[in-house]
A and B are shown apart, each in its own frame.
Chain A
């Protein structure tokens, strides 16, 4: 049974029944799923949730499916890790990492959104699915489409990391590289959807797809013992995730599952080479000036972020801020997280760590703040961004080992 009331335009409030739709037909604003919250509150309690398996479907009453999910059944329920060693480095006593770099099936937070979108495509009985992607979404749509037995069309910019391309092709997906950046790819997808009867997860399945990101908010709150964090640092590309995590936390308050008085400050992180949302927040406006991306954080390289307006509105409203970091700082962030916590994240995660460091230095995140960093992707997908020295090569002889490492025995 579904608790979805329908779709509602976030701009003009116009309501639509549940159907395949890219945006409001009047003002082009984004559509959001609306729910019968009172009915959910009556049916579901926090205690009842605790016995359900730890996946995104734990919160299925708050997701826009009409029937039982068929694929992506293991998605979500990723660890929330207390990060004491990184916390000491950053100067935060209460630091946690939401580790979506081990999400299922394709090691990024995108598994949450595609699990919802591809199940929705099955409900709509669509012939094929697709997406425009900077990489992680491509991997995830391709994998979930394969599991659903649906053909998929994945359009990517022509400069993506080879590992992200391979990890899409392997699923039998039709991968199409488009000359140009993500914004050009996106424009083409919009025109494809206009002509073909397919479900593109970030275009005409977007109102359903985007809801998947709310589960990060639900999980973090539940894993903190039904508390909202004081601060959360979230990487931003199109800007949708940050406002959906906020929506998730608000819904938990509405259901009475976390206290009304708890407030989370939202902190958005971007690469300096693609920072249109950070730039808007700094200028004190919500109007996004599009940019031409130039950064190693390719998964965040969206120069014309469709949800940037909402991100730039919510961030200051929540008492938070947005900050950016250079490519060198991104690599240093990846390294710092790996060396302190044993988690290997991709460039977007490096952005999150590097920006968190700046926010502490600026005094925006304080030592006592219960802070969560959203680590949204896996480092094995962006090896190209790193420039590590080759390992030391020795003969298979003890003497050769000691020649190089003998003096290191007491170094600890």
Chain B
């Protein structure tokens, strides 16, 4: 299944500056796996040593925080949009 991933500025060093990339994946975890094989080092920058998402990184599937879904195990549909967004202070 093909979907679009929105890459934030700090991670564009891995994607040769690309703001969005297309990947094939069935779950959020597979999205990260595939991004990592395409762009080595990508996963380590968004996941910690235990493989979970870093504390200050949020991943949204079509606008919904994956922590409200099934985290990295969340299934993704064809044509979905994944946004990787660093956490932001309050207001």
A203-B56 in contact given A183-B65, A289-B67, A290-B65 (Cβ < 8 Å): no
Q: For residues 120 through 149 of chain A, which have their beta carbon under 8 Å from a beta carbon of chain B?
A: 131-134, 136-138
> Please, what's the 1-or-0 string for B22-60, where 1 marks a CB less than 8 Å from any CB in chain A?
000000000000000000000001000000001111101
Query: In whole angstroms, what is the CA distance A30 to B89 when docked?
Result: 9
Contacting pair A290 B68 (CB below 8 A): yes
Interface segment among A86-94, A233-241, A324-332: the answer is A233-241
Interface residues of B in 1-24 (CB under 8 A from A): 6, 8-10, 19
Cα–Cα distance between A210 and B55 once the two chains are bound (Å):
19
Q: Are A11 and B68 in contact (CB under 8 A)?
A: no
Q: How far is the CA of A322 from the CA of B27 in the complex (A)?
A: 36
Among B8, B57, B58, B63, contact of A194 (Cβ-Cβ < 8 Å): B8
Q: At the interface, yes or no: B86 with Cβ under 8 Å from chain A?
A: yes
Q: Is the CB of A26 within 8 A of B8?
A: no
Q: Contacts A26-B45, A191-B83 known; A304 to B91 CB distance under 8 Å?
A: no
- Say whether A366 faces chain B, with CB atoms less than 8 Å apart: no
CB neighbours of A287 from chain B (8 A): 55
The winner among B6, B67, B87 for most chain A CB atoms within 10 A is B87
Interface pair B88/A190, CB less than 8 Å apart: yes
The complex places the Cα of A359 from the Cα of B45 at a distance, in Å, of: 41
Interface size (B, Cβ < 8 Å)?
Answer: 24
Interface class of chain B by DSSP: mixed
Contacts of B72 in A (CB 8 A): none
Q: Which residue of A lies closest to B91 (CB)?
A: A137
Is the Cβ of B87 less than 8 Å from the Cβ of A304?
yes
A375-B10 Cα distance, complex, nearest whole Å: 37
* Chain B contacts for A194, CB-based, 8 A: 8-9, 19
Decide yes or no: A240 and B56 within 8 Å by CB, A191-B85, A304-B65 being known contacts: no
Q: Are B89 and A28 in contact (CB under 8 A)?
A: no
Confirm or deny: A99 has a beta carbon within 8 angstroms of a beta carbon on chain B: no
Cβ proximity bits B67-91 to A, threshold 8 Å, 1 near / 0 not: 1100000000000000101111111
**A240-251, CB under 8 A of B: which get 1 and which 0?**
100000000000
Q: Which residue of B lies closest to A236 (CB)?
A: B90
A28: contacting residue among B10, B60, B68, CB under 8 A: B10
Q: Does A55 sit at the interface, judged by CB under 8 A?
A: no
Choose, from A221-229, A258-266, A305-313, the stretch at the interface.
A305-313
Instruction: Considering the complex, give the chain A residue whose CB is closest to the CB of B9.
Output: A194
Is B67's CB under 8 angstroms from A290's CB? Answer: yes
B90 touches A306 (CB 8 A): yes
Is A186 interfacial (CB 8 A cutoff)?
yes
CA distance A190 to B84 in the complex (A): 10
Nearest to B60 among chain A residues (CB) is: A187
Chain B residues whose C-beta falls within 8 Å of the C-beta of A307 in the assembled complex: 89-90
Is B68 in contact with A23, judged by CB distance below 8 angstroms?
Answer: no
| C-alpha gap A306/B56 in the complex (Å) | 7
| B14, chain A: closest CB distance, angstroms | 12
Q: Answer yes or no: A29 CB below 8 A from chain B CBs.
A: yes
- Selected from A23, A26, A28, A240, the residue in CB contact (under 8 A) with B90 is A240
Beyond A11-B56, A28-B54, A289-B67, whether A302 also contacts B90 by CB under 8 A is: yes
- Complex contacts, B89 vs chain A, CB 8 Å: 30, 202-203, 206, 209-210, 238, 240, 306-307
Closest B residue, CB atoms, query A309:
B55
The distance from the CB of A247 to the nearest CB of chain B, in whole angstroms, is 14
- Interface of B toward A, CB cutoff 8 Å: 6, 8-10, 19, 45, 54-58, 60, 63, 65, 67-68, 83, 85-91
Q: Considering the complex of A and B, which 8 residue pairs feature the smallest CB-CB distances, nearest first?
A: A238-B90, A137-B91, A28-B56, A306-B87, A133-B91, A202-B89, A237-B90, A28-B86
Known pairs A203-B88, A287-B55 / 15 extra A-B pairs, C-beta < 8 Å:
A23-B56, A23-B86, A27-B45, A28-B86, A182-B91, A189-B88, A190-B85, A191-B8, A191-B83, A194-B19, A203-B89, A238-B91, A290-B68, A307-B89, A309-B55
